[in-house]
A and B are shown apart, each in its own frame.
Chain A
Amino acid sequence: MLPKGLEKQINILDFSLMSLWRRKLKNLGIMFVFALVIFLLGSFQMLTGALTNSAQAVLKNTPDITIQKMSAGRQEAIPLAHAEKLHSIYGIRAIIPRVWGYYFDESKLANYTIMALEHDSMPYGNNLNLTLAYGHFPKKTEIGKAVIGRSVHDILGLDKRRIFSLFRPDLTLKSFEVIGVFSQQTDLLSNDLIIMNLTDARDLFHIPELMATDICVYVTNPTEIETIAKKIAGLLPDTRVLTKSQIQKTYQVVFSWRSGLASICLLTALAAFAILAWDKASGMSPEEKREIGILKILGWETGDILAVRFWESVLVSVLAFLFGCTGAYIHVAFFDASLLKPIMVGWSVIYPSFKLLPSVTLADLLLIFTFSVLPYLGATVIPAWRSATVPPDSAIR
């Protein structure tokens, strides 16, 4: 036996379902438009979430501090001798030189990012292998080996072959053997990436021995990053010192700013929808009015009719929410948010394609809920109350 109050709500819910179904054309129409708005909102939220996740997955492995040599406001190669000066700073765990740059493939008309570092001397360096779909990063001794991003693999047309060649500045060829490919999760940042040995990179770009493009510093205690960065800046005045959190937060701010701007645009759509909902809910047909009059004279209280209207709104909005969110997930996960990506990802022109893996949390869903269901329920309260206060004697006049 259920308690009477609960049984009553179930009865009323049941009646609301019937009543929605009786006006299916109107209600399905509203639901469709609503689901569409939620779909757009949800796609946006999930897209930013996915982008932030991919960025974080990769940025997790960025060095705590990056040092670049500046000359006339531009970055230039940094001598490894700079690194020696840092040994006096207490709290540094490892100092690793890095070479990175861009390589333009004229035959394929594609831009690759080349990166080289001694990953085996990095703290947790072996964790980097986890970002690969298969294979491992080239060790110090493995000359002529490379790890490549997924779209590099496609552009080079490697298929099952493992050997590819790049031109040195003097147009001589240098060949590489692929020993690993990045996994999908890190597509955003690893798509165009070629990772190789420091020696190979210096050879490819003709960078002199004992030089690098930048120096990465790893710190023992994360809370000391800022302090150590300040010390480094003092010791090496001709350099620019970047901390990990600065880089991460820059990404975050850009993403959240863009999604905020996009939300504003979507809010307009939402407002239009709320007006539509209000209008639809308040336009009571004589038939509806008569129906409420009958129910009231048969002993339905104003509160019961309000409950009917409440359940109707909840059913419409929650169903629309489920459809919209499911659609958005499919859109982001399987179609790479193709409708929205051009707005969100400015660099999608450079990165030909990358897979998005949305991770939907309760928080994301709650946010989408706030943006969609809340205004809908809010917009339908007063029309619902209007219809609930139809006097019972309207059925006998």
Chain B
Amino acid sequence: MLIELENTIKIYNQGKPNEVIALKGIDLEIEDNTMICFQGASGSGKSTLLAIIGCVFPPTSGRASIAGKKLSRMPDRFLTIHRREKIGFIFQQFNLLPRLSVLDNITLPLLPLGISPHERKTRARKLMNQLSISHKENFPAAQISGGEMQRVAIARALINNQPIILADEPTAHLDSALSIEFMQIMVDLKESGKTVIIASHDSLVSEHPAIDKIINIKDGRIHVP
């Protein structure tokens, strides 16, 4: 099993007056090479769940095993190292650095890995070709269109060849044509062997035929209708 959560609980500000229980015991199994959609209103704990699967922080209690690593309380450093090897992120606002060029944005995850500029360029160009954004290589990220930004974000999530792709509301800022295009890229990724997890309440995503499973999250728990 690629991802296994068992009674996973996440509490923010534990023991403080502003304590928030974001996840109240999640049990979840996700297999390798599948495409999953998370649904849930904002505040449902969807983002927290995504963050735990994305190894951004460990759960407060419960078991969580992500791509072969048990997440318990551990120093941030080891989560980071695991995260950069296994997880590619695509964010709602794309989260590009606006003043860096497209190329520099795509290669950001490779810098702390000590990968040479030459190799970085080779890898990024291959991806830019696949995603047909090569012509924008040296443009600052602030000066390209929304669709192109999305592709740059995808390229960045793939640059280190991570097996899991996490996307948080990826189509929120795209029109329907671009959203369909985005889903097509995701389908291609799944076919190439990756596991794709998308959190979205866009019907274009949840009703897409390639989605293997929809998981509903409500009030910090998985909701089975």
Residues of A within 8 A of B (CB): 2, 4-8, 11-12, 14-15, 18, 22, 290-291, 294-304, 391-393, 395-397
Contact = CB atoms under 8 A, between A and B. Distances in A.
Enumerate the 5 nearest inter-chain pairs by beta-carbon distance, A residue then B residue, closest first: A299-B84, A8-B114, A4-B114, A7-B114, A11-B111
B112 A392 contact: no
Given A302-B76, A392-B56, A395-B91, A11 B112 contact: yes
Contacts of A391: 57
Contacts, number: 83
Interface stretch (B96-104, B172-180, B207-215, B217-225): B96-104
Nearest to B83: A299
Nearest to B88: A298
A2 B156 contact: no
A18 B140 CA distance: 13
Interface string B16-51: 000000000000000000000000000000010011
Residue from A2, A298, A299, A397 having most chain B Cβ neighbours under 10 A: A299
Interface residues of B, number: 32
A14 B120 CA distance: 13
Given A301-B76, A301-B81, 20 more contacts: A8-B114, A11-B110, A11-B112, A15-B111, A18-B100, A22-B100, A294-B95, A298-B89, A298-B109, A299-B81, A299-B83, A299-B160, A300-B112, A301-B77, A301-B80, A303-B77, A304-B111, A392-B80, A396-B51, A396-B168
22 contacts: A4-B114, A8-B112, A11-B111, A11-B115, A14-B111, A22-B99, A290-B95, A291-B97, A294-B108, A295-B108, A298-B156, A299-B109, A299-B113, A301-B76, A301-B81, A303-B77, A391-B57, A392-B56, A392-B57, A393-B56, A393-B57, A396-B168
B203 interface: no
Contacts of A299: 80-81, 83-84, 109, 112-113, 160
Contact of B97 (A6, A12, A294): A294
Contacts of B80: 296, 299-301, 392
Nearest to B57: A393
Contacts of B57: 391-393
B77 A12 contact: no
Nearest to A303: B77
B116 interface: yes
Contact of A395 (B50, B95, B114, B160): B95
Contact of B47 (A2, A7, A22, A396): A396
Residue from A11, A12, A298, A392 having most chain B Cβ neighbours under 10 A: A298
Nearest to B111: A11
Contacts of B160: 299
A5 B114 contact: yes
Given A18-B100, A294-B97, A397-B47, A301 B112 contact: yes
B56 A297 contact: yes
A301 B112 CA distance: 8
A265 B57 CA distance: 50
Contacts of B99: 22
B64 to A, nearest CB: 16
Contact of A8 (B47, B113, B156): B113
A294 B141 CA distance: 14
Interface in B38-83: 47, 50-51, 54, 56-57, 76-77, 80-81, 83
Given A7-B116, A11-B112, A393-B56, A297 B89 contact: yes
Nearest to B82: A299
A391 B12 CA distance: 13
Given A297-B56, A298-B156, A7 B77 contact: no
Nearest to A300: B112
A2 B111 CA distance: 14
Contacts of B83: 297, 299
Contacts of B54: 297
A6 B116 CA distance: 10
A206 B40 CA distance: 112
Nearest to B104: A18
Nearest to A22: B99
Contacts of B100: 18, 22
A12 B91 contact: no
Given A299-B80, A299-B160, A396 B56 contact: yes
A307 B134 CA distance: 31
Contacts of B95: 290, 294, 297, 395
A185 to B, nearest CB: 50
Contacts of A18: 100, 104
Contacts of A22: 99-100
Given A295-B108, A393-B57, A2 B116 contact: yes
Contact of A393 (B51, B111, B112, B115): B51
Nearest to B91: A396
Nearest to B166: A396
Nearest to B97: A291
A290 B104 CA distance: 17
